[in-house]
Structure 1
Amino acid sequence: MKNIPFYLIFVLMSSFVFAQGSSNGNKWMRNPDNGDGTYTNPIINSDYSDPDAIRVGNKFYMTASSFNCIPGLPILESDDLVNWKLIGYALNKQKPEATYDLAQHGNGVWAPCIRFHKNEFYIYFPDPDFGIYMTKAQKPEGPWSEPIMVKSGKGLIDPTPLWDDDGKVYLVYAFAGSRAGIKSILTICTMNEDGTSANNDDVLLIDGHEEEPTIEGPKIYKRNGFYYIFAPAGGVATGWQTVMRSKNIYGPYEKKKALDQGKTSINGPHQGAWVQTQNGEDWFIHFQDKGIFGRVVHLQPMKWENDWPFMGKDTNGDGIGEPVIKFKKPNVGKSFPMVSPPDSDEFNEPKLGLQWQWHANPKVNWGFPSTLGFYTLNCIPKPKEAVNLFDVPNLLLQKFPDDNFTATTKFQFNSYSDGDEAGFVIMGLDYNYLKLKKTNGKVFLSQMICKNANKKELEKEMERVELKANVIFIQVKVTENGNCTFAFSEDGKIFKYIGIPFTAKEGKWIGAKLGFVALREGFINDAGNLKIDWIRFNKIQ
């Protein structure tokens, strides 16, 4: 059989038994907490891009980019900087609604900044097509205020505020070349006392073209009379962390490279946050771009030397820190339970789990949670402009939760007329769609693969089987190279392979995602639905 292509061997395999998965939520995952006083990076092995974090009292809070996915601006909470749980979102709908009612891949919420000022939580976030917004809340879990435009302008990104000791308020930000026509520079302007409106008194802080190409993502802090700007440069997957300092907020600034990949496997360690524990320890949170799996979150030890921050470990003696893989946990006074963002869902609650996001502002008729033991996803008419799933807004998806896992789901497809379709999706610039569709009164399961979905390519059917009933179990196995293999069962015990292996691909500025969709051709007054019973994840041993 050595001369037979792998995909044919895969297809020819008749059947096998798959584990149904655990209903214990995120307990199956690799946890960064080693349980012995150390941790292993990444601290969140999932797509929380451009993380920013703060400490308030004894709690740490993090937010991240969400782009076109809604709800947006995730809020995570931690007791020890290692174990993080998702507690809510700051953005329930994106404005302007006429734009974000449609799928807008790669647009929307770029790198945000979270701060705590006068007993209120603030998040400043950019939309590169419109400007810089601000939302605030009394509690991190919300409710968060309606976002207000602080500074309008195309291409303004990566805002960070500073309330100075003398009462003055500043905003530092960068530019997206794709919108503004300029990039690799950082600028600063003043704001009003409330931080709700920026002034047009912008000053250039650095032009990075010669030594700091693509400098962006600034975070401004003040310490020991110095103003510090932490800013990544060199590109997302290949760059480093630069730190600038000056006694004058307008500069001129000295600069130093504080963290780079060195000889480690952690590419592009930058774009993040300086956080200090209640016991005075300093730490730096940043992301690593892992392509298919998105931008995952790392934690680096940090210390101050001659009023310069040093991050990670200097293993090659060049004076620049390199990322650590394993390290002693932050000292926060005591140990806390291991937690991580959610993944598995039994769909028993009268609200959608926090792991789920839509690809656009949701509409009331897309789906309903219930206490009946399932989530109902309705077959909504396909948008006229959608030649494939890339432009479909009602995709109910969650992030890949790890590098190696299986996800098993059980659902019931209720079709009241021909034209309804629904199923399970691995979504990205390429996607795999295990589609159930009713045709001439019969229900069929098909593997549909779409390459270059963002370029309007069409789906191709790889295999189709007729089902005896409308209740089905589907499982995907995902490995660290993004390779996905699929199986189905009609009894939940014996699974059969379907289709061919599929290599997942990242989306536009986000990692690959998985979840569900329900559609139909044209409008009808009684569309079908997909009743999702559960989805359960297991770690591949």
Structure 2
Amino acid sequence: MNSAHWHPGSPITGSGPDGWAEGAFANPVIPGFHPDPSVCRVGDDYYLACSSFEYFPGVPIFHSRDLAHWAQIGNALDRPSQLTLPIETPSSAGVYAPTLRHHDGRFWLITTNVAPGGGNMLFTATDPAGPWSDPVRLPDVGGIDPDLAWDEQGRCWCTVAGISQVRIDPDTGQTIGEPRGLWSGKAGVQAPEAPHLYRIGEFWYLMIAEGGTERGHAVSIARGPAPDGPFEPHPDNPILTHRGTNHPIQNTGHADLVQAPDGSWWMVLLGVRPRGGTPGWHVLGRETFLTPLTWADGWPVVAPVETVMAAPAWPSCPVAVPEIRDDFDHDRLAPQWVSVRSRPDELWSLTDRPGWLTLRARGACLDDPDVMFVGRRQQHHSCRVRTLLDPAAGRGGLAVRLDEAHHYELEVGDSQVRVLARTSSLRSTVATKAVPDGPVRLRIDVLASSPDRWDPRKEPDTIRFGIESDDGTLELLAELDGRYLSTEVAGGFTGRVIGVYAAAGTVGFDWFDYEPTE
């Protein structure tokens, strides 16, 4: 199962004919819907966590040795005892903004479950690949985007969006004292959030995001003599933003800092890559980017985030774009696979039909919040996705999902293949074709729009749906505009997830193949 060994960040955006120059890396380092990155280093190893919102399992965990190439090693919240997302949890709710830290021989992860019965929760592990503990709940810590920091006396400080702070006992979840407000960024600027607190040299630094997670997103910082301040803002805040520019990377913010063994400093952050005309549509979600920083007069100086950046001590990025295929021949799903809100054991199997993924329907279609869906994040602007589906006595298919109200499907059942589209309040059958009973090879091609064709209304991409023959020939059934599966149209905080689903009865999938084509 190649997907279990695939490094999502390698390669990322493609390259020229000779590859990147020696000592360069490509952004984003973790492409696709991987927002709100938090990073820590232990020896020569880096670990990174991201938000997962309404998807289960939650909080993907990545490992790297150079900050540029990352491999997913697990999901921190992979058991119902750790993460419950009731059916009434809206899309783009769920798990927000984890902070990942290593302290006193353990990994610590704090996050917010924005769902009924959720709240702020703290988890620990000795191995970041898992298993992680059941949650220690923090009932008296309000807000989202919680951060953890320990001072020299071993006291633990929790800072949340707003920006407010309280001391906690991380072993019990009890608060110590009352929450108090801290520096909250520039007066009048919206959404002070994503706080991270660091002791660096003689100062404590409080770094936040502000301006909202859209085009106005920015990173600002302040410093003070103690973890609770008082904090003096950087005179030239924000220290990083791409707002008001025509840079191909936008919405830059929600950052975290890490120091490499050679003493250099780096920032991981989220950003998006809008495509098409105006206002620009980003379809992959908010992605994880990397940029270096230096220090001057006790303040960080952050480099603009480019698609290709220099890293003199590192080897060049790979050029080859591997095909990512899962033949479903292992005893568990690779960590890249996620489901919507839950994945009950009785609704899926890798053993009922060895070498196949078997799904049993729950919801009747992707409009339903409890649909049985197993997917992976779309990570390239152009890609080809294929599967061999046996509808057996059921109905199911291959889908591109943004949320319940924005998704496209290639569905098989009742001796027919159908192309279905849901865009906001409209649901339509776009195309149908009769097929013989038995397995059918389904294919979806996502084609990024050409940068050479200027049109203010130009779509970010086109999505093609068809049936593939054994020799790879595509019988095209429909072609749809990709802008309707974008955040600018649908709203929310997520990105596209492409996968398989069951809508009635039981269906089987022999393999799933995701191939970047850009």
- TM-score (norm. length: structure 2): 0.85
Match of 1:276, as an amino acid? Q
Say whether 1:351 aligns with 2:332.
yes
Of stretches 355-364 and 289-298 in structure 1, the one that deviates more from structure 2 is: 289-298
Task: Work out whether residues 197 and 227 of structure 2, in 8 Å CA contact, stay in contact via their aligned partners in 1.
Answer: no
Give distance in 2, aligned partners of 1:83 and 1:122: 23
Q: In the alignment, is residue 449 of structure 1 matched against residue 431 of structure 2?
A: no
Deviation at 1:196, TM superposition (A): 3.3
* SS of aligned partner of 2:97: coil
Q: Given the superposition, is the C-alpha separation of residues 22 and 215 from structure 1 closer, same or farther in structure 2, using an over 3 Å criterion?
A: closer
How far apart are the structure 1 equivalents of 2:84 and 2:74?
25
Q: Which residue of 2 aligns with 1:192?
A: 169
After TM superposition, the structure 1 = structure 2 runs for residues 79-118 of structure 1, keeping only pairs within 5 Å, are: 79-93=65-79, 99-100=85-86, 104-118=90-104
Offset, 1:260: 1.4
Q: Do the aligned residues in 1 keep the contact of 2:362 with 2:371 (CA within 8 Å)? A: no
Q: Equivalent residue for 1:138?
A: 126
User: Residues 152 and 472 (structure 1 numbering): CA distance in 2 closer, same or farther, change over 3 Å?
Assistant: farther
User: How far off is 1:128 after superposition?
Assistant: 3.4
Q: Determine the C-alpha separation between the residues in 2 that align with 1:191 and 1:451.
A: 45
* 1:137–1:105 Cα change, 3 Å: same
Q: Return the match for 1:294 from 264, 267, 285.
A: 285
Whole-Å Cα distance in 2 between the matches of residues 35 and 421 of structure 1?
A: 49
Secondary structure (helix, strand or coil) at the match of 1:110 reads strand
Give the CA deviation at 1:499.
2.5
Given residue 475 of structure 1, which amino acid in structure 2 is its aligned partner? R
Q: Is the 8 A contact 1:104 1:360 kept in 2?
A: no
Residue 197 to residue 478, structure 1, CA distance change in 2 (3 Å): same
Q: Percent identity?
A: 21
Q: In the comparison of the two structures, how many residue pairs are matched?
A: 477
Letter in 1 for 2:445: K
Write out per-residue CA displacement over residues 238-277 of structure 1, whole angstroms, 9 at most, x where no aligned residue: 2211011111332221112211116433212111210111
The whole-number CA distance in structure 2 between the counterparts of 1:409 and 1:374 is 11
Residue from 208, 213, 220 that aligns with 1:231: 208
Does 2:464 correspond to 1:464?
no
- What is residue 408 of structure 2 aligned with on the other side? 432
Match of 1:518 among 491, 502, 507: 502
Deviation at 1:98, TM superposition (A): 6.9
Q: 1:28 to 1:488 in 2, by over 3 A?
A: farther
What root-mean-square deviation, in Å, do the aligned CA atoms of Structure 1 and Structure 2 show? 2.9
Aligned match of 1:149: 137
- The answer as to whether partners of 2:382 and 2:447 remain within 8 angstroms in 1 is yes
Equivalence map 1:137-286=2 (5 Å): 137-152=125-140, 156-174=143-161, 185-192=162-169, 194=171, 196-208=173-185, 210-237=187-214, 238-256=216-234, 257=237, 258-261=239-242, 263=245, 264-286=247-269
Report what 1:77 is aligned to.
63
**Aligned counterpart for 1:37 among listed residues 23, 33, 52:** 23
Aligned 8 A contact 1:124 1:135 in 2: yes
Q: Distance in 2 between matches of 1:340 and 1:249?
A: 45
Give the 3 Å change call, closer, same or farther, for CA 467–29 of structure 1 in structure 2: farther
Identify the match of residue 311 of structure 1 among 298, 302, 311: 302
**What are the ranges of 5 or more consecutive residues in structure 1 without an aligned counterpart?**
1-20, 175-184, 313-321, 521-526
Partner of 2:276: none
Q: Deviations over 1:449-477 (max 9, x none)?
A: 1111xxxx353111111102321111111
Structure-2 change in CA distance of 1:230 and 1:363 (3 Å): same
Partner Cα distance (1:251, 1:474) in 2:
58
Deviations 1:179-223 (A, max 9, x none): xxxxxx301111126473323511110244724321100011011
Distance in 2, matches of 1:488 and 1:236, equals 39
Deviation at 1:288, TM superposition (A): 0.4
2:12 and 2:29 in contact (8 A); partners too: no
Q: In structure 2, what is the equivalent of residue 55 of structure 1?
A: 41
The corresponding residue for 1:482 is 461
Helix, strand or coil at the partner of 2:283: helix
In the TM superposition, residue 54 of structure 1 has moved relative to its aligned partner by 0.7
Quote the Cα distance in structure 2 between the aligned partners of 1:150 and 1:355. 29
Q: Distance in 1 between matches of 2:320 and 2:472?
A: 31
Q: Which residue of 1 aligns with 2:310?
A: 328
Indicate how the Cα distance of structure 1 residues 211 and 339 shifts in structure 2: closer, same or farther if over 3 A, else same.
farther
The gaps in structure 2 that reach 5 residues or longer are 274-281, 449-459
Counterpart mapping for 1:372-387 below 5 A: 372-378=354-360, 380-382=361-363
What does residue 384 of structure 2 align with? Answer: 406
With over 3 angstroms needed to count, the CA separation of the structure-2 counterparts of 1:410 and 1:221, relative to structure 1, is: same
2 CA distance for matches of 1:478 and 1:533? Answer: 22
Secondary structure of 1:479's aligned partner: strand
Cα distance in 2 for partners of 1:197, 1:31 equals 48
Match for residue 368 of structure 1 among 337, 342, 349: 349
C-alpha deviation, 1:328, in angstroms? 2.0
- 8 Å CA contact 2:82–2:134 kept in 1: the answer is no
Give the match's secondary structure for 1:82. Answer: coil
Q: In 2, Cα distance between the equivalents of 1:94 and 1:161?
A: 24
Per the alignment, do residues 366 and 491 of structure 1 end up closer, same or farther by CA in structure 2, a change over 3 Å counting? same
Residues 293 and 401 (structure 1), Cα distance of their counterparts in 2 relative to 1, 3 Å cut: same
Structure 1 residue 343 displacement after superposition = 4.5
22-31 or 529-538, which moves further after superposition?
A: 22-31
Cα drift, residue 35 of structure 1: 6.4
Inter-partner Cα distance in structure 2 for 1:28 and 1:162: 33
Go from structure 1 to structure 2 and tell me whether the alpha carbon gap of 1:23 and 1:382 turns closer, same or farther (over 3 Å shift).
closer
Of residues 21-30 and 156-165 in structure 1, the stretch that sits farther from structure 2 once superposed is: 21-30
- In structure 2, how many angstroms separate the alpha carbons of the residues matched to 1:72 and 1:331? 33
Does the C-alpha gap of structure 1 residues 465 and 101 become closer, same or farther in structure 2, counting only changes over 3 Å? same
| Cα distance in 1, alignment partners of residues 336 and 423 from structure 2 | 26
TM-score by length of 1: 0.81
Could you say what secondary structure the match of 1:202 adopts?
strand
Whole-angstrom CA distance in 1 between matches of 2:145 and 2:509 = 38
